[in-house]
């Protein structure tokens, strides 16, 4: 009897426990991806609908997965509808004896999977669920009160203390499939923008899919990782792996990263420190996912309750200026343009733009989180809200609210030659290094000779840094007093 493998955020063939098990049984395998528009289980909150950029990525990734399936004799079937009824229907059509899938340790996904399991059970079809896309399952790292850990360092120590995760599984070499099962056409799903087609920058920047993810990992461990500790904070350098969207869609698994990184460390002992640092960033992904497991509404509510009284400003104009890269702070505007064009932003600059929105503009972190959710190709249900709350000061192991990033000093420190700003804000490119992060301090002659007309070719700062900082601290003092 055929086995159905239900794919979700695990769009790969290698290190895919559910597919590996199905293939090793020797029965025909049907790969199935369900577009569940409602993403809702019977009695639980809906899964968060994808944003624009992740919809684009999903289309490319499904295309790549479908091609890889065909290359080994299998087939990926696409269907739309509530997951439970669709999967039960495909099981009946194919006379499948079992459905396998990998767990996603997130409440809405587990609730949907619970409905799938019940629907199958009532038809006498088995379900088997395999460990998901984490190094360690959230239930295995708890404190004395049976809660997940809220501080990163002890969390990561505990994960490391558990030793190496299982070795990644190979991709099946050959699959037997069955013919005659209808699949919807990916193009009909309209995941990609048509008019206006804003995805040109994404196409230029990325090759989604498992093969590209593996190639990126190999290239990074062969070269970039050896300077990771120094370069990871430099947006003007190509110093990080750029694996985040691949990880987001499970085109590569964290255990594959872990083992490849450990192998690289054994081969290059002098880079062991850089490789440990890289793995600890993967640890942050894990930490955010574990947090989300404990706090399913992480994107909606302040983890630290006293932030509920924070006097956020409703300022649609300021929010728009931030979204459209018109704040007048070059490092902030460069970051927002990188995001719009490529679907990602360097981590250091994410922190700077997020701090600017929350602290200088006093806009609720949820508005920024939502914008990132829609525009990031790596938009992640755990990492995005967890990092926003970290910057806002309302989250787990958060940066204290009173630490307000200075966008001028951040620019000067991490983009010292202005290369990042020149790339994304070319209208400032002719300014000297000491002016490029604060063009408003240039003399009229300096501005004129660089072809900059403040207020015309590039905006004046929408808020003065010092005043913005003081206003943020005063707002924070209010919630501390009322606490």
Feature table: binding site for FAD? 228, 240-244, 278, 378-380
Which DSSP state fits 224?
G
Q: Which listed residue (378, 395, 396, 414) binds ligand FAD by CB under 6 A?
A: 378
- Binding pattern to ligand FAD, positions 284-323, x when CB under 6 A? xx--x-----------------------------------
410 touching ligand FAD, by CB under 6 A: no
Is residue 103 within 8 Å of 74, Cβ to Cβ? Answer: no
Q: Which residue has the tokens 């990325």?
A: 206
In angstroms, give the least distance from the CB of 297 to ligand FAD: 16
Catalytic position from the list 6, 365, 371, 390: 365
Q: Which listed residue (66, 127, 240, 253) binds ligand FAD by CB under 6 A?
A: 240
Catalytic position from the list 101, 258, 284, 390: 284
Which span sits near ligand FAD by CB under 6 A: 58-66, 319-327, 374-382, 426-434? 374-382
Which is nearer to ligand FAD, 12 or 285 (by Cβ)? 285
261 touching ligand FAD, by CB under 6 A: no
> Which among 82, 135, 142, 139 has a CA at the least distance from the CA of 113?
82
Which span sits near ligand FAD by CB under 6 A: 49-57, 115-123, 156-164, 236-244? 236-244
CA 389 → CA 191, 397, 400, distances in Å? 29, 9, 11
* Sign of torsion over alpha carbons 55, 61, 64, 68: negative
What is the Cα–Cα distance from 415 to 405, expressed in whole angstroms?
Answer: 15
Catalytic position from the list 6, 388, 390, 424: 388
Q: Which listed residue (8, 350, 359, 366) binds ligand FAD by CB under 6 A?
A: 350
Helices vs. strands in the chain: H and E counts, helices first: 20, 5
What is the Cα–Cα distance from 170 to 16, expressed in whole angstroms?
Answer: 8
- Binding pattern to ligand FAD, positions 136-165, x when CB under 6 A? ------------------------------
Q: Which two tokens stand for residue 149?
A: 């850990």
- Give the Cα-Cα-Cα angle 137, 139, 145 (nearest 5 degrees): 150
Which is nearer to ligand FAD, 177 or 240 (by Cβ)? 240
| Residues 429 to 468 in contact with ligand FAD, rule: CB under 6 A | none
376 touching ligand FAD, by CB under 6 A: yes
What is the Cα–Cα distance from 354 to 387, expressed in whole angstroms?
Answer: 9
Compute the radius of gyration of the chain from its Cα atoms: 24
| Residue 78 parent element (H or E) | strand 76-80
Omega before 196 cis (within 30°)?
yes
Which is nearer to ligand FAD, 77 or 221 (by Cβ)? 221
Number of residues that this document lists for the chain: 483
Q: Which listed residue (14, 66, 177, 241) binds ligand FAD by CB under 6 A?
A: 241
- Annotated binding residues, written as ranges, equal 228, 240-244, 278, 378-380
367 touching ligand FAD, by CB under 6 A: no
Is residue 367 within 8 Å of 388, Cβ to Cβ? Answer: no
Active site residue 390: no
> Which among 16, 18, 15, 14 has a CA at the least distance from the CA of 5?
18
Active site residue 406: no
269 Cβ neighbours under 8 A, 6+ residues apart: none
Cβ-based burial of 175 (10 A; exposed 0-12, middle 13-18, buried ≥19)? buried
- Give the Cα-Cα-Cα angle 387, 391, 395 (nearest 5 degrees): 65
279 touching ligand FAD, by CB under 6 A: no
CA 194 → CA 56, 80, 199, 204, 378, distances in Å? 11, 21, 9, 16, 21
Which is nearer to ligand FAD, 90 or 379 (by Cβ)? 379
**How many chain residues bind ligand FAD (CB under 6 A)?**
27
> Which among 94, 73, 123, 72 has a CA at the least distance from the CA of 6?
94
How distant is the alpha carbon of residue 229 from its chain centre? 21
- Binding pattern to ligand FAD, positions 216-235, x when CB under 6 A? ----------------x---
In angstroms, give the least distance from the CB of 376 to ligand FAD: 5
In angstroms, give the least distance from the CB of 46 to ligand FAD: 19
Active site residue 387: no
Active site residue 281: yes
Which span sits near ligand FAD by CB under 6 A: 43-51, 332-340, 375-383, 443-451? 375-383
327 touching ligand FAD, by CB under 6 A: no
Which is nearer to ligand FAD, 240 or 406 (by Cβ)? 240
Active site residue 101: no
* Interface with ligand FAD (CB under 6 A): 232, 240-244, 247-248, 281-282, 284-285, 288, 347, 350-351, 354, 372, 376, 378-380, 383-384, 387-388, 391
């Amino acid at each position: 009897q055929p086995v159905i493998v239900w794919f979700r955020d695990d769009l790969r063939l290698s290190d895919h426990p559910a597919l590996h098990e199905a293939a090793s049984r020797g029965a025909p395998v049907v790969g199935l991806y369900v577009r569940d528009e409602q993403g809702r289980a019977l009695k639980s909150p809906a899964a968060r609908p994808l944003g624009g950029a992740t919809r684009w990525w999903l289309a490319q990734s499904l295309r790549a997965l479908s091609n890889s399936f065909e290359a080994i004799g299998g087939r990926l079937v696409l269907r739309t509808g509530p997951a439970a009824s669709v999967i039960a229907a495909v099981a009946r059509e194919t006379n499948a004896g079992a459905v396998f899938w990998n767990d996603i340790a997130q409440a809405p996904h587990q609730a949907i999977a619970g409905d799938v399991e019940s629907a199958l059970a009532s038809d006498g079809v088995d379900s088997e669920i395999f460990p998901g896309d984490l190094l360690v399952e959230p239930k295995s790292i708890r404190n004395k009160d049976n809660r997940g850990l809220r501080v990163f360092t002890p969390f990561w120590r505990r994960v490391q203390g558990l030793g190496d995760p299982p070795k990644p599984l190979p991709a099946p070499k050959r699959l037997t499939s069955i013919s005659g099962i209808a699949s919807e056409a990916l193009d009909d799903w309209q995941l990609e923008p048509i008019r206006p087609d804003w995805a040109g920058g994404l196409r230029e920047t990325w090759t989604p899919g498992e093969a590209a993810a593996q190639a990126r990992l190999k290239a990074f461990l062969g070269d970039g990782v050896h300077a990771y500790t120094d370069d990871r904070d430099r947006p003007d350098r190509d110093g990080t792996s750029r694996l985040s969207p691949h990880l987001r869609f499970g085109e590569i698994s964290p255990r594959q990263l872990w083992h490849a990184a450990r192998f690289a460390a054994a081969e290059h002992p002098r880079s062991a420190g850089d490789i440990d640092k890289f793995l600890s960033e993967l640890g942050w992904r894990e930490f955010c996912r574990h947090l989300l497991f404990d706090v399913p509404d992480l994107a909606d509510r302040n983890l630290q309750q006293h932030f509920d009284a924070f006097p956020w400003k409703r300022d649609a104009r300021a929010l728009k200026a931030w979204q459209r890269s018109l704040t007048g702070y070059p490092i902030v505007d460069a970051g927002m343009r990188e995001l719009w064009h490529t679907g990602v932003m360097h981590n250091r600059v994410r922190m700077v733009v997020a701090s600017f929105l929350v602290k200088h503009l006093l806009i609720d972190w949820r508005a920024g989180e939502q914008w990132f959710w829609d525009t990031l190709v790596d938009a992640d249900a755990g990492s995005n809200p967890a990092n926003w709350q970290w910057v806002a000061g309302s989250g787990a192991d958060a940066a204290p609210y009173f630490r307000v990033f200075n966008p001028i000093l951040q620019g000067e420190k991490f983009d010292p030659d202005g290369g990042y700003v020149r790339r994304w804000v070319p209208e400032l490119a002719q300014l000297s290094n000491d002016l490029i992060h604060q063009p408003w301090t240039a003399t009229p002659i300096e501005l004129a000779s660089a072809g900059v007309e403040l207020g015309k070719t590039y905006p004046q700062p929408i808020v003065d840094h010092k005043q913005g900082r003081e206003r943020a601290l005063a707002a924070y003092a209010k919630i501390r007093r009322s606490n």
